[in-house]
């Protein structure tokens, strides 16, 4: 009997495997050698598809994006505030599903044009609301970078939603900072309740955009 035929090795399959291993090993532990071992191939076989680890991270970020927007329909009736809220809530929710997800996504270059449809629609909505193109880009960038920065900090404390790194116990922190009562009390606002923290910060950024550009 002939052995079971394996799926052909391609960029998508390598990225899928890498994303699965990311949740086990984290970004530092994710190596081309480990991915090759999981795929039951020799490491040099991966270099036919990716010249280095950053090229693989670019494909992983692209696959994250594909999964994030799969089945999502943008509502043309959104206000500009609603669009920015929805986009960044969706980005956070998607990246929280991966250990070090924000670090992989941040600074990566999309390998295709999958992102162009949503980008075009959002920029069109903002410009039709009265933003110049430059203002629309600044607004979208500011909220996007807020979300990624927030997530990098959040995942530094909680690598996955059901995990918490040692050393971030709010009660213990309050005891150590007992001589600094405001700083001690701030711990609950800094290292707990991340959903509420994120929403408040995003609202501040969007309100600032409106104030800066005179938009309602």
What does the pLDDT profile of the chain (216 residues) look like in tens digits? 334 456 678 888 999 999 999 999 899 999 888 999 999 898 788 888 888 889 999 999 999 999 999 988 899 999 999 999 999 999 999 999 999 999 999 989 999 898 999 999 999 999 999 999 999 999 999 999 999 999 999 999 999 888 898 888 999 999 999 999 999 999 989 999 999 999 999 999 999 999 999 998
DSSP 85-134: HHHHHHHHHHHTTSTTHHHHHTT---SSSTTHHHHHHHHHHHHHTT--HH
- Residue 3 has a pLDDT of 44
- Other Cβ atoms less than 10 A from the Cβ of 175: the count is 10
Lookup result for tokens 């971030």: 168
- Residue 5 has a pLDDT of 52
Which run of H or E residues covers position 26?
helix 11-29
Domain 11-213: CATH superfamily, name plus number: Tetracycline Repressor, domain 2 (1.10.357.10)
- Residue 190 has a pLDDT of 92
- Residue 68 has a pLDDT of 94
pTM, rounded to two decimals: 0.89
Helix 116-128 with 133-157: angle, nearest 10 deg: 120
The torsion angle over the Cα atoms of residues 73, 78, 81 and 85, rounded to 10 degrees, is: -20
Spell out the domain ranges in the chain: 11-213
DSSP 45-91: GGGGT-SSHHHHHHHHHHHHHHHHHTT----TT--HHHHHHHHHHHH
CB 209 within 8 A of CB 139: yes
């Amino acid at each position: 009997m002939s052995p079971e035929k394996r799926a052909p090795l391609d960029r998508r399959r390598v990225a899928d495997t890498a994303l699965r291993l990311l949740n086990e090993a984290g970004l530092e532990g994710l190596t081309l050698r480990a991915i090759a071992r999981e795929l039951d191939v020799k490491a040099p076989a991966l270099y036919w598809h990716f010249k280095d680890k950053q090229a693989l991270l670019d494909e992983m970020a692209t696959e994250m994006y594909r999964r994030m927007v799969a089945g999502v329909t943008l509502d043309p009736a959104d206000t500009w505030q609603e669009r920015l809220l929805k986009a960044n809530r969706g980005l956070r929710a998607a990246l929280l599903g991966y250990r070090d997800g924000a670090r992989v996504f941040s600074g990566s270059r999309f390998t295709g044009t999958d992102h162009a449809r949503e980008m075009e629609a959002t920029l069109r909505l903002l410009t039709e609301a009265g933003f110049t193109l430059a203002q629309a880009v600044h607004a979208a960038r500011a909220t996007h970078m807020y979300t990624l920065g927030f997530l990098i900090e959040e995942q530094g404390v909680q690598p996955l939603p059901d995990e918490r790194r040692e050393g971030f116990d709010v009660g213990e922190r309050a005891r150590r900072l007992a001589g600094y009562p405001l700083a001690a009390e701030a711990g609950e606002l800094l290292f707990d309740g991340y959903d509420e923290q994120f929403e408040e910060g995003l609202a501040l950024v969007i309100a600032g955009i409106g104030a800066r550009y005179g938009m309602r």
